[in-house]
Homo-oligomer: A and B are copies of this chain.
Amino acid sequence: MLEDIKERVYKANLLLPKYDLVKFTWGNVSEITPDRKYVVIKPSGVDYDSMKASDMIVVDLDGNIVEGNLKPSSDTPTHLELYKKYKEIGGITHTHSRWATIMSQAKLDIKAMGTTHADYFYGSIPVTRDMKKEEIKNDYEKNTGLVIIECFEEKNISPKDVPAVLVANHGPFVFGKDANDSVFHSVVLEEVAFMNWHLVSLGKNESMSDNLLDKHYLRKHGKDAYYGQN
């Protein structure tokens, strides 16, 4: 079952090497079914070159394998926590893409410093707090999801408005309305992370004006959007 969504998730995973977001198998993309009962995700540690659409794993929201002969990505419990919490998330991408990972390791929020950022992210992309010893020892991957949720809740951010987060000392988790959209946002994230590093490096780390942020975000999103074709 779910051959269509497996095909989409498979193709979205192949975009990661295409956009130079991963080395080897260091990334995974998933998508949730429209009824929000099942998640389709990449198998763990399988080469992109030999991977097939039929290798995608179907799990339920408790992490039980419903279909597939391989183990799902070890990050699956992180994905599941996020799907359970946020109905606005339809797809998730996790990578160790270079610039977003550097900012994750530096524990620096990626502030909105230009219109490239404002076109897709409605404010700073935050970094999670350090995980505690117990959170790391037991249920580490599930707790990674919970720490992301805590970060968004505290800052009152919806992953629809800011579809990315940096896990401290680790790397980005990125969201979208489906698998493909979460990869798209991963490319944008990498681009703004690149630019922000080069600004922070010059001693510049101030957000742009709210007026300009509003203008650019809202000309692309919401009821008054006028960018692109109808």
Whole-angstrom distance between the Cβ of A163 and the nearest chain B Cβ: 15
A124 at the interface (CB under 8 A from B): no
Whole-angstrom distance between the Cβ of A15 and the nearest chain B Cβ: 12
A198 at the interface (CB under 8 A from B): yes
A48 at the interface (CB under 8 A from B): no
On whether the beta carbons of B102 and A195 are closer than 8 Å, the reply is yes
Which residues on the B side are within 8 Å of A158 (C-beta)? none
Size bin of chain A's contact surface: 35 or more
Name A228's contact: one of B45, B131, B200, B202 (CB within 8 Å).
B45
A74 at the interface (CB under 8 A from B): yes
Which residues on the B side are within 8 Å of A200 (C-beta)? 202
Between-chain CB contacts (< 8 Å), 29 pairs: A23-B188, A23-B191, A24-B184, A43-B229, A45-B228, A45-B229, A70-B229, A71-B229, A74-B219, A96-B115, A98-B195, A101-B114, A102-B195, A104-B114, A105-B113, A105-B199, A106-B204, A114-B169, A114-B170, A114-B171, A133-B211, A136-B212, A136-B215, A137-B211, A137-B215, A169-B208, A169-B209, A197-B202, A201-B201
